[in-house]
Amino acid sequence: MEQTFVMVKPDGVARGIIGEVITRLEGKGLKMVGARFERLPEKRVMEQYREHIEKPFFPSLHHYITSGPCLLMVWEGRSAVSVVRTLIGKTNPAEAAPGTIRGDLAMDIGRNVVHASDSPESARREISIHFSEDEICTYKRTDEPVLYE
């Protein structure tokens, strides 16, 4: 099974829609195997967004992502990265399809509720930034036999 990183950003936390995000991911059949609720420390913000540090929008992104707590999660399932990306929708909520998390719950690209890894490589990198191996749980969902062939 593949793992991916998902973060409910400060706007999603402040709006009280953490449960909605989790419900949609669990409802699809994905399994949460790690979670932490916290304000991101500076070191991990810089690691998480290292490819954006030199971009003009980074100061605003940095201010926003450190403005409140985030829910950091690791999700597992077959093709978890692509499944989660489909569920959350396009980065710009104005372009995200109805039925997706961003399409239904967000209005602005700068406050788009959730982050999710965009590739298996990014997922491995982002998970390792925020979680140690011993913080990832292994267990069976009772519905796994009917989720997968």
User: CATH no. for residue 137?
Assistant: 3.30.70.141
Catalytic amino acids?
Answer: 115
Among residues 105, 75, 101, the alpha carbon closest in space to that of 88 is found at 101
Q: What is the pLDDT of residue 70?
A: 98
Residue 107: which domain range?
A: 2-147
> Is the full-model pTM beyond 0.85?
yes
CA 5 from centre of chain: 5
- 4-41 burial, b if ≥16 CB within 10 A, otherwise e? bbbbbbbbbbeeebbebbbebbeeeebbbbbeeeeebe
If you average pLDDT over every residue of the chain, what do you get? 96
Count of domains for the chain:
1
Q: What is the pLDDT of residues 82-106, one digit of tens each?
A: 999 999 999 999 999 999 999 999 9
d(CA 5, CA 142): 23
- The string of pLDDT tens digits covering residues 115-142 is 999 999 999 999 999 999 999 999 999 9
